[in-house]
Amino acid sequence: MCWSKIAVIDDADSIVTTIKEQRSITQQQQYNPGLPDLCTPKVWVLRVLRFATLKLFNFPSERHPVFSVSDFFQKPKKMNKHYKIFIFLLIGLLSACKGPAPDPIDAKIETLLDQMTLEEKLGQLVKKNGDHPNLPDQIRQGLVGSILNEVNPDRIYELQRIAVEESRLGIPLLVGRDVIHGFRTIFPIPLGQAASWNPELVEKGARIAAVEAASQGVNWTFAPMIDVTRDPRWGRIAESFGEDPYLTGVMGAAKVRGFQGDSLSAHDAIAACLKHFAAYGWAEGGRDYNTVSIPYNELYDIILPPFQMALEAGAATIMTAFNEINGIPTTGHVSLLRDLLREQWGFQGVLLSDWNSVTEMIVHGFTPNYKESAYMAKQATVDVEMVSRAYETYLPQLIDEGRINIEQINDAVRRVLRLKFDLGLFENPYRFKGDFPELLAPEHLEASKQMALESIVLLKNQGALPLPKNIRRLAVIGPLADAPHEQMGTWVFDGRKENSITPLQSLRELGLSNGFEIYYHRALETSRSHQITDPKGILRSVGRADAVLLFLGEESILSGEGKSLANINLQGAQEELVRLVGTANRPVIAIIMAGRPITFEEVKPYMDAVLYAWHPGTMAGPALTELIFGKVSPSGKLPVTFPRHVGQIPIYYNHKNTGRPASFETFVHLYDIPVEAPQFSLGTTSHYLDYGFKPMFPFGFGLSYSSFEISNVALENSQLKAGEYLKVALALKNTGKVKAAEVVQLYTRQKFGSRTRPVRELRAFQKILLEPGQEIKVYFEVNTHDLGFHNQQMQFVTEPGPFQLWVGTCSQSGIMKPFEIIE
């Protein structure tokens, strides 16, 4: 991981500091399209040499209109001695210039660019929706280089054919789609995938999604979304990897590797798009699209690191965000996009606006009209405008007026063409006609089931799970037990509910083979219904059953874009349903399917066990059935804190300590305060009188059917210099009776710093599967450089001083060891 922070945007919105401790993105790993850079040292050396050759050795200049290597080996008649010295120097100079060999694609791009009219160039910079009127004709005229939301392979074939065969220059199309958690085979929502804490599996899921999408003609996905968020009210938390920058970065990088495969040019690879740059998950009040105010050190320490990690994995493209940051909409944010992303980070891939986000700068109150919106977005180096039409309409005028330089346009077009070359579209625009596994291939479904198995989190278990195999009667109740559409979750454009296997279907199948009966009641028409149907019948069934499976949660449409909620309790009459069932003195197992953390504190006491399933996707049924009956032990861990009450938000694990941290010793509940208690007689610490200071469930938490013990935690060295590796060894033992996986988490805390430090920060983790009784050694290595942060001068520093580390299975526990970073 590279926590390099490079430059700083100050309040005046300009770069003010360049960080010395810069660790640049590993160039070899980065998808870094080599645009022809005419200012490289090598080019300049060659230019000087050419000049020197012509002048010093009297080559007739008309014979050498351009530089040719053979010139140097054509011995001149005069100045023999100087010539030898010159050749000697030349060889030395050239071998000192170890620049990359010229890329033949650069030449192709330049040739194309030379032939393009301004209109054709601008065509490469617009992305039009698949239903745009006259799309075929516009493509034919070279006015559209990129489309989205068209997934009919025949139509894509036809549009691509028009682009390459009927447009003047035959430039193929980019075909974009939101492939967020699967194409036809739907995987758990990203928040659920993060709960697996298994990046290999996440990568595999993205690979499958890419293969399925590519087979239908898609070559660019607008994923992964790596917006860190601390707010479960925000509907798009479903699409995020939660609240932690490190976990988000690891998962984002895994997705990128999965989408893009080993090479973008493979027929089954699709370009990834990191979004939304930046801080979209920081919307005030968790209300989607809302204003973002964020201190720059938080922007740099929390929001940006996942982008750097995913760029290291080679992400080809980036999307801007709808929001403003501290008054500047990101799509026109010159210092964020041009100065930081392009110049400091060296990002040379395609930068795409979000849907209409160029022209929404007018609504934000940042630009007066389309023309100025186009100007600002272009100044900020946004290459492609999604859907709105400011670029095609106003860039020509802005060029005429000399406000936008044609080189700015050329650079953007180069980047788009480079992506098309890298995707292999020039060689094979119909690459989706190649050899692909079928959609929903058995191995795709198996991977989706595995992901669901690993993403579901066991939050509570008072001996109710797993159910015994010899169970005779099972009550299955609730609006989500048999909801094939809802279990897929948000952002599902291409999944089909008829492919979903619901929990009720799977349980019925198992019931037939294991010989148990099922009494099923939907109870509520939808997750929002207020009317419980047939409460008496429900009670009768519960009374006859050995156990109750209560399927609760929210419909898929209640999370995702634009689906923020102020109340994140179970909606409708679900709490009433829990109480109804919970009073019947039968083990109640709640299975909650949702796109966000739901606050169910008030009804938790009625639940003997809780499996938090997120929206698990196509294979929800088989996965849940295996967990419920103990074929597999749950191993998911929360990627986000679950509040007890919405009013506690923001509540997150990596918070600051404050000067008056809360404690159980100082906390007095609202109802326990004596009447007329004197003002300062009770603890004055940072808590709520009603809901205290603890969440319902903390980050990193999740139970298992087994138990684990961590022991023998040892540090190789407890005094290190910045840049040295912190090496930790420990023993992990499965002390339970079943095979199960545990996630060992490593957190650190710097006791004090020139800026206050969080009480804990996740630095590393490993998910390990162990047989009962098995014990293994686990090793971690963390570079102490990565423990740095942005100080008051916004320099990235690793300050010497005392630290603590914890290794454990949750953010609130673990074995602590002190260590120190020394000068």
Beta strand pairing call for 126-129 and 15-18: unpaired
**Cis ω for the linkage preceding 466 (within 30 of 0):** yes
Decide whether 561 or 601 has the Cβ nearer to ligand BGC: 561
Inter-residue long-range contacts of 287-294, CB under 8 Å, 24+ positions, other chains counted: 287/233, 287/234, 287/564, 288/234, 288/235, 288/236, 288/561, 288/562, 288/563, 288/564, 289/322, 289/323, 289/562, 290/323, 291/323, 291/324, 292/323, 292/324, 292/325, 292/326, 293/326, 294/325, 294/326
Letter for the amino acid at 789? F
Q: Which of 178, 231, 312, 383 contacts ligand BGC by CB under 6 A?
A: 178
Coil, strand or helix at 551: strand
CB of 365 to ligand BGC, least distance (A): 20
C-alpha 218: how far from chain center = 20
Decide whether 130 or 800 has the Cβ nearer to ligand BGC: 130
CB of 561 to ligand BGC, least distance (A): 6
What angle is formed at CA 321 by the lines to CA 315 and CA 325, rounded to 5 degrees?
A: 120
| 275 near ligand BGC (CB under 6 A) | yes
Positive or negative torsion for Cα 356, 358, 359, 365: positive
CB of 355 to ligand BGC, least distance (A): 4
CB of 272 to ligand BGC, least distance (A): 12
CB 226 within 8 A of CB 308: no
Q: Which of 561, 575, 576, 601 contacts ligand BGC by CB under 6 A?
A: 561
Residue 165 tokens read as 């065969």
CB of 284 to ligand BGC, least distance (A): 17
Decide whether 274 or 613 has the Cβ nearer to ligand BGC: 274
C-alpha 23: how far from chain center = 22
Give CA–CA dist 444/205, Å, rounded. 8
CA distances 190 to 32, 228, 253, 255, Å, are: 26, 12, 13, 10
Decide whether 546 or 561 has the Cβ nearer to ligand BGC: 561
CB of 321 to ligand BGC, least distance (A): 8
Decide whether 274 or 423 has the Cβ nearer to ligand BGC: 274
Coil, strand or helix at 309: helix
Residues binding ligand BGC: number (CB under 6 A): 6
Residue 599 tokens read as 């606050």
Positive or negative torsion for Cα 137, 143, 147, 153: positive
Tally DSSP H helices, then E strands, for the chain: 21, 28
| 645 near ligand BGC (CB under 6 A) | no
Give CA–CA dist 111/109, Å, rounded. 5
CB 621 within 8 A of CB 501: yes
Residue 188 tokens read as 């758990």
Residue 687 tokens read as 């808590």
For the segment 672-731, give every residue that binds ligand BGC (CB under 6 A): none
| 120 near ligand BGC (CB under 6 A) | no
CB of 339 to ligand BGC, least distance (A): 24
Decide whether 166 or 561 has the Cβ nearer to ligand BGC: 561
CB of 701 to ligand BGC, least distance (A): 29
For the segment 318-347, give every residue that binds ligand BGC (CB under 6 A): none
| 355 near ligand BGC (CB under 6 A) | yes
C-alpha 671: how far from chain center = 43
Positive or negative torsion for Cα 103, 104, 109, 114: positive
CB 810 within 8 A of CB 760: no
Angle between helices 406-422 and 370-379 (to 10 degrees): 70
Decide whether 132 or 460 has the Cβ nearer to ligand BGC: 132
Q: What are phi and psi of 766, to 5 degrees?
A: -145, 135
**Cis ω for the linkage preceding 278 (within 30 of 0):** yes
Q: Which of 339, 354, 383, 608 is catalytic?
A: 354
CB of 180 to ligand BGC, least distance (A): 8
**For the chain, how far is it from start to end, CA to CA, in angstroms?**
23
CB of 68 to ligand BGC, least distance (A): 48
Q: What are phi and psi of 651, to 5 degrees?
A: -130, 120
Decide whether 354 or 761 has the Cβ nearer to ligand BGC: 354
CB 819 within 8 A of CB 725: no
Q: Is 354 an annotated catalytic residue? A: yes
How many C-beta neighbours within 10 Å does residue 786 have? Answer: 21
Give CA–CA dist 190/194, Å, rounded. 6
Site string for ligand BGC, 183-222 (x = CB under 6 A): ---------------------------------------x
CB of 349 to ligand BGC, least distance (A): 16
The residue at minimum Cβ distance from ligand BGC is: 222
Can you say whether residue 562 is alpha, beta or left, with left for phi > 0 and alpha for psi between -120 and 50 degrees?
A: left
| 554 near ligand BGC (CB under 6 A) | no
Instruction: Using alpha carbons, select from 698, 816, 807 the residue that is nearest to residue 745.
Output: 807
Q: Which of 354, 555, 626, 761 contacts ligand BGC by CB under 6 A?
A: 354
Residues within the interface to ligand BGC (CB under 6 A): 178, 222, 275, 354-355, 561
Residues annotated as catalytic are 354
